[in-house]
Structure 1
Amino acid sequence: MGDPAEINISVTETPEGQLHFNMSQTDFAGSPSDIDGIFFDMADDSQLGSLNFFPEENSHNVTDIQAEANGVSALPNGAGVGQNFDVGLQFGTEPDSSEGSVNNASFTLWSDDGPVTLEDIDLNGMRVIVDSDGTGGEVLGVSGSDHPDFMDGDGQDDSDIVLKDVMSLMSGAGTEEETDATAGDEMEEFIV
């Protein structure tokens, strides 16, 4: 995500029915990007009430979690994405704040109502806010993918969003030992 690519996001579907998100800086040669937040939509808004997140708010650089059907458009620091989403997470090194430099962040999402899969979130429409401490920051969006279901553009007005991103979907086959240990279990990974 970004122009040039600033942030990689991988979303892994685990055999336990969870989604693990991992965000990382792509290149430290230039000025590092501070990851302040991520926003995405659920395919079914009724799932929001049963969602769980790890880590909890104010631990491991996750400093705010918002989940409300079409009700999340900005981080608590005021940096917004210009549209409403279902889920938003803020990252920082200080509690309840986006302050501090976060170049890598991760979280896991699961539901009390059963497995959460890649099809349960809108991967095409995700947004990431970087470098918003003290300024409005930059909103990064998704522009391309080799995922077979990717639609060019998400139907939103992206005039203020940098869209020079590359996404790919990989099937996490793993090593032969991993495959034997998880026989019958499937894991997919989506990299933004």
Structure 2
Amino acid sequence: MTGTIGEKTQITVTLGCEPRLLVTIVEKFDGGLFIDIKSEDPDAEVGDLDGFFFNFTDDATMNGLHIWPDENQGTQWAPVTDIQMNPDAVDSLSNGAQLAETYDAGIQFGLTPDSTQGHVSAANFTMWSENGPLSIEDIDLDSLAAVVNSDTENGIVKTVSDSTNSGDGYGEEEHEDDECAFLIEGPVNTEVVLTQLENGDIRVDLQVLEGDDPDATGQIGDINGLFFNVADDSLLNGMTVTGDDVTGSQFAAGSVNNLGNGVNMHGTQEGETSETANGFDAGIAIGHTGIGGGDDIRATSFTLSHPDGLSLEDFSGEFFGLRLTSVGDEGSDDREDSLKLIGQCEEEPQPPICDDQYYLNDVMALMTQPMHDELAYEMMASEPVEEMDLVETY
């Protein structure tokens, strides 16, 4: 939004997802630019503002450019602790936080000299040039980015919101986050899918891959048992299982290794770790041992329940053990082998809150992959700057 205060021209740009940051740039009477960064919503906590990055429309603008306040000479409203100016080469803060793109300028905020330490909820600074007046057109408004909470594991870089121009808000696209699907791999590959149900239960689906499935190995087996760990051992007291093929279960932290009748994980062939060597937290027996026992289960489901409810987070990053008997080639009557395999419900990277911000922790992973021109990231929000506040501040 562009407007005027008296005869001053100003523009506001929103960054990130809700709660968004509001950046207000004002052309001052003396030819400088005043830049204010606050929460768009006065009642929303946007976190600790650690840095602000941007590009100029012409690199020559940096010649003779000055920033007020100087490093470590500001106030609580302008807590500038570092200033970087270098065309297309600024991409980090003093604490090592790395952005995914490079910028012409970076202004760092903090309450401790030369650092991002201390909680900064809002900040401002002023730019002026020895070579004449500056205007809003000297700033590449599409490049604006703010870094929030970079001293924590949940640091975020907020970029220009689509809603700045289109009016679109976050919430139109929901992120699917109700499944953990993974393979337990070996001579027989088996897909495991954990699904979060609305009532707080977890449904577990097991499928031996065969036929034309691209992950099939050509061998199959009879599912006899699934063993697993949980993140919180206290959940084991009260956990129950139901399923048509379930023939037994045990729940005991770090000590479940044998459900009887050959359904055990002793001498696991592949994937054993220090977390599973002494036993799992739980084990579910499926059917009867081997096709000689009267069944040949290659797909089954069961449901885990707890009075306090369960979530995918209770299983995220945890190891699962699979017991297969009657292992052999598809279509063969000679299925005399057996397997004990281990897989993991891997932790999924945090999804962006929206397309206008991204997590600092994901940057290194992004740097190792090809970047696409259309890739955009999400940022944090802040409250709208009142026009009278601006007049009183600068």
Same fold (TM over 0.5): yes
1:67 aligns to what? Answer: 85
Contact 1:41 1:86 in 2 (8 A): yes
Shift of 1:139: 0.5
Contact 1:33 1:103 in 2 (8 A): yes
Contact 1:22 1:105 in 2 (8 A): yes
Superposition map of 1:21-100 within 5 A: 21-27=35-41, 29-60=43-74, 61-100=79-118
2 CA distance for matches of 1:165 and 1:104? 11
2:120 aligns to what? Answer: 102
Contact 1:25 1:33 in 2 (8 A): no
| Structure 1 unmatched ranges of 5 or more | 148-152, 179-192
1:135-170 Cα offsets, whole Å, 9 max, x none, are: 3610001133359xxxxx9x95544x216989x9xx
Give the AA of the match of 1:162.
E
Identity, in percent, stands at 34
1 CA distance for matches of 2:58 and 2:133? 13
Shift of 1:75: 1.0
1:189 aligns to what? Answer: none
1:1-37 Cα offsets, whole Å, 9 max, x none, are: 2211332110101122111001112336454411100
Q: State the SS of the aligned residue for 2:63.
A: helix
2:142 aligns to what? Answer: 124
Contact 2:19 2:45 in 1 (8 A): no
Q: 2:33 aligned to 19, 38, 43, which one?
A: 19
Contact 1:50 1:113 in 2 (8 A): yes
1:99-126 Cα offsets, whole Å, 9 max, x none, are: 1100110000011111110110101111
- When residues 93 and 164 of structure 1 are mapped into structure 2, their CA distance, relative to the original with a 3 A threshold, is closer
2 CA distance for matches of 1:74 and 1:81? 6
- When residues 63 and 139 of structure 1 are mapped into structure 2, their CA distance, relative to the original with a 3 A threshold, is same
Give the AA of the match of 1:95.
P
2 CA distance for matches of 1:164 and 1:157? 20
- When residues 163 and 105 of structure 1 are mapped into structure 2, their CA distance, relative to the original with a 3 A threshold, is closer
The farther-off stretch of 6-15 and 81-90 is 6-15
Q: Which has the higher contact order (CA 8 A, sep 6+)?
A: 1
Question: How many pairs does the alignment contain?
Answer: 163
1:162 aligns to what? Answer: 378
Contact 2:25 2:33 in 1 (8 A): yes
2 CA distance for matches of 1:158 and 1:164? 17
1 CA distance for matches of 2:116 and 2:380? 25
Contact 1:34 1:103 in 2 (8 A): yes
- When residues 12 and 95 of structure 1 are mapped into structure 2, their CA distance, relative to the original with a 3 A threshold, is same
Q: State the SS of the aligned residue for 2:61.
A: helix
Q: State the SS of the aligned residue for 2:157.
A: strand
Give the AA of the match of 1:22.
D
2 CA distance for matches of 1:106 and 1:163? 18
- When residues 24 and 85 of structure 1 are mapped into structure 2, their CA distance, relative to the original with a 3 A threshold, is same
Q: State the SS of the aligned residue for 1:119.
A: helix
Q: State the SS of the aligned residue for 1:124.
A: strand
TM-score normalised to structure 1 length: 0.75
2 CA distance for matches of 1:10 and 1:28? 15
TM-score normalised to structure 2 length: 0.38
Please provide the CA RMSD for this pair.
Answer: 2.9
Q: State the SS of the aligned residue for 2:124.
A: strand
Give the AA of the match of 1:96.
D
2 CA distance for matches of 1:26 and 1:16? 27
| Structure 2 unmatched ranges of 5 or more | 1-14, 167-355, 357-371
